[in-house]
Amino acid sequence: MLTPRFEAALVYAAQLHAAQTRKGSGVPYVSHLMAVASLVLEAGGDEDAAIAALLHDAAEDQGGLRTLAEIRRRFGDAVADIVAACSDTFEEPKPPWHARKRAYLAHLRDAPPSVRLVSCADKLHNARAIATDHRRLGDALWARFNAGRDDILWYYRELAAIFTEQGPEPLAAELALVVEGLHRDTG
Protein backbone atom coordinates (compact mmCIF):
# COMPACT_ATOMS: atom_id res chain seq x y z
CA MET A 1 0.00 0.00 0.00
CA LEU A 2 1.07 3.54 -0.64
CA THR A 3 1.41 5.87 2.32
CA PRO A 4 0.96 9.63 2.66
CA ARG A 5 4.62 9.95 1.54
CA PHE A 6 3.53 9.07 -2.00
CA GLU A 7 0.78 11.70 -1.93
CA ALA A 8 3.25 14.28 -0.62
CA ALA A 9 5.67 13.38 -3.42
CA LEU A 10 2.93 13.73 -6.03
CA VAL A 11 2.02 17.18 -4.74
CA TYR A 12 5.69 18.21 -4.56
CA ALA A 13 6.34 16.96 -8.11
CA ALA A 14 3.27 18.81 -9.41
CA GLN A 15 4.45 22.00 -7.73
CA LEU A 16 8.03 21.71 -9.01
CA HIS A 17 6.96 21.03 -12.60
CA ALA A 18 3.81 23.22 -12.63
CA ALA A 19 5.05 25.48 -15.43
CA GLN A 20 6.70 22.72 -17.47
CA THR A 21 5.21 20.94 -20.48
CA ARG A 22 6.37 17.97 -22.54
CA LYS A 23 8.64 18.97 -25.42
CA GLY A 24 6.64 20.46 -28.25
CA SER A 25 3.30 19.11 -27.09
CA GLY A 26 1.82 21.47 -24.52
CA VAL A 27 0.97 18.45 -22.34
CA PRO A 28 1.57 19.18 -18.65
CA TYR A 29 4.85 17.58 -17.60
CA VAL A 30 3.30 16.03 -14.51
CA SER A 31 1.48 13.58 -16.81
CA HIS A 32 4.85 12.02 -17.65
CA LEU A 33 5.80 11.76 -13.99
CA MET A 34 2.53 10.03 -13.11
CA ALA A 35 2.92 7.64 -16.05
CA VAL A 36 6.45 6.69 -14.98
CA ALA A 37 5.27 6.11 -11.40
CA SER A 38 2.42 3.97 -12.71
CA LEU A 39 4.80 1.84 -14.78
CA VAL A 40 7.08 1.40 -11.75
CA LEU A 41 4.21 0.32 -9.51
CA GLU A 42 2.76 -2.02 -12.14
CA ALA A 43 6.21 -3.64 -12.50
CA GLY A 44 6.33 -4.35 -8.76
CA GLY A 45 8.33 -1.37 -7.57
CA ASP A 46 8.05 -0.36 -3.95
CA GLU A 47 6.94 3.01 -2.62
CA ASP A 48 10.47 4.45 -2.63
CA ALA A 49 10.84 3.56 -6.32
CA ALA A 50 7.40 5.03 -7.11
CA ILE A 51 8.26 8.25 -5.29
CA ALA A 52 11.59 8.41 -7.12
CA ALA A 53 9.66 7.94 -10.37
CA LEU A 54 7.54 10.98 -9.54
CA LEU A 55 10.68 12.98 -8.77
CA HIS A 56 13.13 11.50 -11.28
CA ASP A 57 13.51 14.77 -13.22
CA ALA A 58 13.08 17.16 -10.29
CA ALA A 59 16.72 17.76 -9.44
CA GLU A 60 17.98 17.67 -13.03
CA ASP A 61 15.32 20.09 -14.33
CA GLN A 62 14.21 22.07 -11.28
CA GLY A 63 17.05 23.24 -9.08
CA GLY A 64 19.92 20.77 -9.23
CA LEU A 65 21.68 19.70 -6.07
CA ARG A 66 19.59 22.04 -3.94
CA THR A 67 16.42 20.22 -5.03
CA LEU A 68 18.13 16.86 -4.54
CA ALA A 69 18.95 17.84 -0.95
CA GLU A 70 15.30 18.77 -0.39
CA ILE A 71 14.18 15.42 -1.82
CA ARG A 72 16.60 13.68 0.55
CA ARG A 73 15.22 15.66 3.50
CA ARG A 74 11.58 15.03 2.62
CA PHE A 75 11.65 11.49 1.27
CA GLY A 76 14.87 9.86 2.47
CA ASP A 77 18.16 8.56 1.16
CA ALA A 78 16.75 5.69 -0.90
CA VAL A 79 14.53 8.02 -2.96
CA ALA A 80 17.22 10.70 -3.34
CA ASP A 81 19.80 8.12 -4.40
CA ILE A 82 17.50 6.81 -7.16
CA VAL A 83 16.71 10.34 -8.32
CA ALA A 84 20.42 11.22 -8.43
CA ALA A 85 21.23 8.05 -10.35
CA CYS A 86 18.46 8.74 -12.91
CA SER A 87 19.87 12.21 -13.64
CA ASP A 88 22.42 12.51 -16.41
CA THR A 89 23.89 15.75 -15.05
CA PHE A 90 23.47 18.52 -12.52
CA GLU A 91 25.88 20.81 -14.38
CA GLU A 92 24.75 24.12 -15.87
CA PRO A 93 25.20 24.56 -18.69
CA LYS A 94 24.79 20.89 -19.49
CA PRO A 95 27.74 19.10 -21.09
CA PRO A 96 27.41 18.11 -24.77
CA TRP A 97 24.58 15.67 -25.51
CA HIS A 98 26.73 12.71 -26.65
CA ALA A 99 29.06 12.91 -23.66
CA ARG A 100 26.11 12.97 -21.23
CA LYS A 101 24.34 10.07 -22.89
CA ARG A 102 27.45 7.89 -23.14
CA ALA A 103 28.20 8.50 -19.45
CA TYR A 104 24.60 7.69 -18.51
CA LEU A 105 24.68 4.44 -20.48
CA ALA A 106 27.94 3.40 -18.80
CA HIS A 107 26.47 4.26 -15.40
CA LEU A 108 23.33 2.17 -16.05
CA ARG A 109 25.38 -0.98 -16.56
CA ASP A 110 26.33 -0.92 -12.87
CA ALA A 111 23.17 0.66 -11.47
CA PRO A 112 21.11 -1.12 -8.82
CA PRO A 113 17.79 -2.70 -9.82
CA SER A 114 15.72 0.16 -8.34
CA VAL A 115 17.55 2.69 -10.54
CA ARG A 116 17.15 0.53 -13.64
CA LEU A 117 13.44 0.12 -12.87
CA VAL A 118 12.78 3.87 -12.65
CA SER A 119 15.05 4.66 -15.59
CA CYS A 120 13.50 1.97 -17.80
CA ALA A 121 9.98 3.17 -16.95
CA ASP A 122 11.04 6.73 -17.83
CA LYS A 123 12.62 5.69 -21.13
CA LEU A 124 9.66 3.45 -22.03
CA HIS A 125 7.20 6.29 -21.52
CA ASN A 126 9.44 8.65 -23.51
CA ALA A 127 9.81 6.13 -26.35
CA ARG A 128 6.04 5.60 -26.48
CA ALA A 129 5.55 9.38 -26.70
CA ILE A 130 8.14 9.66 -29.47
CA ALA A 131 6.44 6.86 -31.44
CA THR A 132 3.01 8.45 -31.00
CA ASP A 133 4.25 11.90 -31.94
CA HIS A 134 6.10 10.53 -34.97
CA ARG A 135 2.89 8.97 -36.27
CA ARG A 136 1.19 12.36 -35.87
CA LEU A 137 3.99 14.73 -36.95
CA GLY A 138 6.30 12.66 -39.10
CA ASP A 139 9.94 13.68 -39.29
CA ALA A 140 9.13 17.21 -38.04
CA LEU A 141 9.14 15.59 -34.59
CA TRP A 142 12.94 15.44 -34.49
CA ALA A 143 13.30 19.23 -34.45
CA ARG A 144 12.17 19.34 -30.80
CA PHE A 145 15.20 17.39 -29.58
CA ASN A 146 18.75 18.48 -28.78
CA ALA A 147 20.06 15.72 -31.02
CA GLY A 148 19.10 14.37 -34.43
CA ARG A 149 16.98 11.37 -35.31
CA ASP A 150 19.92 8.99 -35.72
CA ASP A 151 21.39 10.00 -32.36
CA ILE A 152 18.06 9.66 -30.54
CA LEU A 153 17.46 6.24 -32.10
CA TRP A 154 21.02 5.15 -31.25
CA TYR A 155 20.51 6.20 -27.61
CA TYR A 156 17.21 4.33 -27.26
CA ARG A 157 18.64 1.23 -28.94
CA GLU A 158 21.54 1.25 -26.42
CA LEU A 159 19.13 1.75 -23.51
CA ALA A 160 16.95 -1.12 -24.70
CA ALA A 161 20.00 -3.39 -24.98
CA ILE A 162 21.14 -2.63 -21.43
CA PHE A 163 17.68 -3.09 -19.93
CA THR A 164 17.08 -6.27 -21.93
CA GLU A 165 20.34 -7.71 -20.62
CA GLN A 166 20.00 -6.58 -17.00
CA GLY A 167 16.31 -5.94 -16.39
CA PRO A 168 13.75 -5.00 -15.39
CA GLU A 169 11.35 -7.36 -17.09
CA PRO A 170 8.75 -6.93 -18.58
CA LEU A 171 9.42 -3.20 -19.06
CA ALA A 172 12.68 -3.96 -20.85
CA ALA A 173 10.94 -6.21 -23.36
CA GLU A 174 8.32 -3.56 -24.08
CA LEU A 175 10.97 -0.86 -24.47
CA ALA A 176 12.82 -3.08 -26.96
CA LEU A 177 9.61 -3.53 -28.98
CA VAL A 178 8.84 0.19 -29.02
CA VAL A 179 12.42 1.03 -30.04
CA GLU A 180 12.34 -1.61 -32.76
CA GLY A 181 9.10 -0.08 -34.05
CA LEU A 182 10.61 3.40 -33.99
CA HIS A 183 13.55 2.21 -36.10
CA ARG A 184 11.23 0.50 -38.55
CA ASP A 185 8.75 3.39 -38.79
CA THR A 186 11.29 6.21 -39.04
CA GLY A 187 13.39 4.66 -41.75
pLDDT in tens, 27-74: 899 999 999 999 999 999 999 999 999 999 999 989 999 999 999 999
For the chain, which residues make up each domain, given as ranges?
4-186
3-class DSSP assignment, residue 28: strand
Q: What pTM value is reported for the model? A: 0.95
CATH class of the domain defined by 4-186:
mainly alpha
Residues 6 or more apart whose Cβ sits within 8 Å of residue 11: none
Q: What is the pLDDT of residue 110?
A: 94
Q: How many residues does the chain have?
A: 187
- The pLDDT of residue 26 is 84
C-alpha 181/C-alpha 128 separation (Å) is 10
Residue ranges for the chain with pLDDT beneath 50: none
Q: What is the reported pLDDT for 92?
A: 84
Q: Write down the pLDDT at residue 91.
A: 86
d(CA 132, CA 11): 28
